[in-house]
């Protein structure tokens, strides 16, 4: 069914409440695993339908925020979603307490019960006022960033519209634009400090009220970190520091040589080639045609997937007035279909949408066909990103179709970006551990900590001429630190796995595609560690997990002549 034909109707809360409660009462008293299973799946459909309505509204509202109907419906969901969540919470509690839980694993994946257990540990109705305060502060942070009016060379920009100037071929323009942007952060330093300080204190209070030693411990439950703990994560960060930071340093030095500068200045980082970063050719429509050809050539499954996406119009890619910023991939449970939302802008990011977001969509399309429990169709965050980041690498052989004779330049930039991202990603994670371990730190202590860690993980950063960065304020820009605490190491864990798929593709390992298919079809039925093992990848926490990958990355950069691509 085409996305535009999917019918939206606001659920009648009182009716849903009566039905959900009746089913939960029966589930609680279920006397056999068969009875439990049958009622559980009735609830699964009911939940899926509510989710479908909420998603249809969310997507249509984000495509056109000026549409009065969906604007009003969005308000309904903002108000009612927590009320529906109360039933989900009771469902978790019944499932966790079920006396024949292990007998149910044949129908309901074990990960479902693990997630239910963890969800219960981090929720208490008593905490709702604190959660509400936290939400208000997060909204204040995003409103503050959205309010930016940056004057530069006679024009007014916001934080999104000034971003492309970081790739301007004129160095003075890059510096001027970056300084203008940083002036906004410097001007609002006290606001960012106050918002973050309050967030840290509120989150610490939530954790202590639930009986945790602090917010870090609570977050390992919030983020569904199954089978690994903070010590393993800390060891993993030191592997990145030891193996990847030197590699990133080498790439930054080569970047400086290409740019003809002594160092890569704070305004040069996004600029890989002095005559410009690779840009996709043609219109978005042509790129969609390219993507369709690529997925047909990649495999039978991806061919069927892309036809399904096109036929059912399951994306909205063009940037237009009234549309929200950013990009995402979501799912519509009643139809078992994914949906991709993007804002194309003529940069290589447009191709990333057709590989990264399509990788998410392909994973959902594959897993939802065989997993009936909707909560287990998507895996946890760190696992979900493996499917998307690996698809970016799976698409490498087709990049000529998107970038013409600049395809090698794209591949170089893509891989260099992946390598340089890893030290930054673990820095963000390390910083958050320190912050929540020391909830009484002053804002200056936090900034000192950030700068110190930055010098450790990214010693090649040159902040000469940018006092606000020297002071340790780079992270004001990193929304996750404010909005989604501790959600960041996930991207790096996934990248380490995706790089393993990349290395296997480079080595023409014929089993690599099959393992990628296993990853997608398992969805959320396994924990991160088990999932990684199931597709013959090394677990990022193990010693030597990166050895074969770093060797091949070095080989790649040794063999490319970056002067001619």
CB of 63 to Zn ion, least distance (A): 19
Site membership for Zn ion, residue 388 (CB under 5 A): yes
Site membership for Zn ion, residue 255 (CB under 5 A): no
Closer residue to Zn ion (CB): 44 or 388: 388
Site membership for Zn ion, residue 355 (CB under 5 A): no
CB of 385 to Zn ion, least distance (A): 5
* Residue 96-125 contact track with Zn ion, rule CB under 5 A, x = bound: ------------------------------
Closer residue to Zn ion (CB): 247 or 340: 340
| Region binding Zn ion by CB under 5 A among candidate stretches 301-309, 380-388, 478-486, 547-555 | 380-388
Site membership for Zn ion, residue 394 (CB under 5 A): no
Closer residue to Zn ion (CB): 200 or 354: 354
Site membership for Zn ion, residue 216 (CB under 5 A): no
CB of 315 to Zn ion, least distance (A): 15
Closer residue to Zn ion (CB): 182 or 361: 361
* Helix 547-559 with 489-506: angle, nearest 10 deg: 60
CB of 378 to Zn ion, least distance (A): 11
Residues 6+ apart with CB under 8 A from 39: 23, 26, 27, 30
Name the 3-class secondary structure at 486. Answer: coil
| Region binding Zn ion by CB under 5 A among candidate stretches 1-9, 16-24, 273-281, 383-391 | 383-391
- Helix and strand numbers (H, E) in the chain are 25, 5
Site membership for Zn ion, residue 44 (CB under 5 A): no
Closer residue to Zn ion (CB): 388 or 432: 388
| Region binding Zn ion by CB under 5 A among candidate stretches 20-28, 299-307, 386-394, 495-503 | 386-394
Measuring CA to CA, how many Å separate 60 from each of 145, 329, 345?
24, 13, 20
- Helices in 188-271 by DSSP H: which ranges? 189-209, 215-222, 230-243, 245-259
Q: Output phi, psi for 563, to 5 deg.
A: -85, -25
Residue nearest to Zn ion (CB): 388
CB of 390 to Zn ion, least distance (A): 11
Name the 3-class secondary structure at 281. Answer: coil
What does the block give as tokens for 351? 């191709």
CB of 444 to Zn ion, least distance (A): 34
Measuring CA to CA, how many Å separate 433 from each of 201, 472, 485, 502, 541?
14, 16, 10, 30, 17
CB of 357 to Zn ion, least distance (A): 7
**Residue ranges in 59-98 that form contacts with Zn ion under rule CB under 5 A:** none
Closer residue to Zn ion (CB): 272 or 357: 357
Q: Output phi, psi for 109, to 5 deg.
A: -55, 145
Tell me which DSSP letter residue 265 carries: B
Closer residue to Zn ion (CB): 388 or 390: 388
* Helix 230-243 with 245-259: angle, nearest 10 deg: 40
CB of 389 to Zn ion, least distance (A): 7
Tell me which DSSP letter residue 22 carries: H
Residue 291, CB half-sphere, CA atoms under 13 Å: how many? Answer: 25
Name the 3-class secondary structure at 142. Answer: helix
Q: Any idea how long the chain is?
A: 565
R_g of the chain computed on alpha carbons = 24
Closer residue to Zn ion (CB): 366 or 388: 388
CB of 136 to Zn ion, least distance (A): 27
Closer residue to Zn ion (CB): 92 or 388: 388
Nearest CA-CA partner of 414 in 281, 272, 284, 204:
272
Q: Output phi, psi for 351, to 5 deg.
A: -70, -35
Site membership for Zn ion, residue 492 (CB under 5 A): no
**Which residues bind to Zn ion, rule: CB under 5 A?**
388
């Amino acid at each position: 069914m085409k996305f535009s034909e999917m019918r939206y109707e606001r659920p009648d809360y009182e009716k849903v409440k009566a039905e959900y409660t009746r089913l939960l009462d029966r589930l609680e008293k279920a006397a056999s695993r068969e009875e439990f299973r049958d009622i559980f799946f009735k609830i699964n459909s009911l939940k899926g339908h509510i989710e479908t309505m909420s998603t249809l509204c969310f997507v249509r509202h984000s495509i056109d925020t000026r549409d009065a109907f969906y604007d009003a419906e969005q308000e309904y969901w903002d108000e009612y979603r927590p009320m529906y969540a109360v039933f989900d919470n009771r469902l978790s509690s019944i499932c966790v307490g079920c006396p024949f839980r292990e007998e149910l694993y044949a129908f309901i994946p074990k990960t479902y019960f693990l997630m239910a257990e963890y969800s219960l540990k981090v929720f208490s109705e008593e905490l709702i006022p604190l959660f509400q305060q936290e939400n208000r502060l997060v909204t204040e942070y995003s409103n503050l960033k959205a309010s930016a009016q940056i004057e530069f060379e006679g024009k007014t920009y916001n934080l999104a519209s000034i971003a492309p100037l970081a790739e301007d071929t004129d160095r003075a323009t890059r510096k001027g634009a970056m300084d203008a942007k940083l002036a906004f952060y410097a001007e609002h330093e006290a606001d960012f400090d106050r918002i973050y300080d309050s967030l840290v204190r509120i989150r610490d209070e939530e954790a202590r009220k639930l009986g945790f030693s602090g917010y870090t411990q609570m977050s390992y439950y919030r983020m569904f970190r199954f089978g690994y703990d903070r010590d393993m994560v800390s060891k993993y960060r030191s592997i990145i520091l030891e193996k990847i930071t030197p590699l990133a340093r080498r790439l930054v030095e080569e970047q400086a040589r290409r740019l003809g500068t002594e160092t890569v200045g704070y305004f040069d980082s996004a600029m890989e080639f002095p005559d410009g970063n690779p840009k996709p050719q043609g219109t978005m429509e042509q790129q969609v045609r390219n993507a369709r050809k690529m997925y047909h050539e990649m495999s039978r499954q991806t061919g069927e997937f892309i036809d399904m996406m096109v036929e059912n119009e399951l994306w909205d890619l063009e940037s237009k007035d009234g549309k929200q910023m950013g990009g995402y991939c979501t799912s519509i449970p009643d139809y078992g279909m994914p949906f991709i939302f993007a804002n194309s802008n003529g940069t290589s990011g447009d191709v990333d949408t057709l590989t990264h977001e399509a990788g998410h969509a392909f994973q959902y399309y594959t897993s939802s066909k065989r997993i009936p429990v909707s909560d287990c169709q998507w895996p946890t965050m760190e696992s979900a990103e493996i499917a998307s980041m690996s698809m970016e690498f799976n698409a490498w052989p087709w990049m000529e179709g998107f970038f013409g004779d600049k395809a090698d330049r794209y591949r170089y930039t893509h891989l260099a970006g992946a390598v340089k991202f890893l030290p930054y990603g673990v820095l963000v994670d390390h910083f958050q551990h320190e912050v929540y371990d020391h909830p009484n730190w002053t804002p200056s202590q936090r900034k000192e900590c950030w700068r110190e860690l930055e010098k450790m993980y990214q010693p090649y950063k040159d902040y000469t001429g940018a006092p606000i960065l020297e002071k340790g304020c780079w992270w004001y820009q990193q929304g996750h630190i404010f909005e989604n605490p501790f959600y960041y190491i996930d991207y790096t864990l996934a990248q380490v796995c995706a790089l393993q798929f990349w290395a296997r593709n480079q080595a023409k390992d014929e089993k690599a595609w099959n393992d990628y298919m296993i990853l997608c079809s398992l969805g959320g039925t396994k924990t991160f560690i088990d999932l990684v093992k199931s597709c013959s990848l090394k677990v990022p926490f193990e010693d030597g997990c990166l050895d074969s990958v770093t060797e091949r990355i070095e080989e790649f950069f040794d063999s490319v002549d970056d002067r001619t691509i």
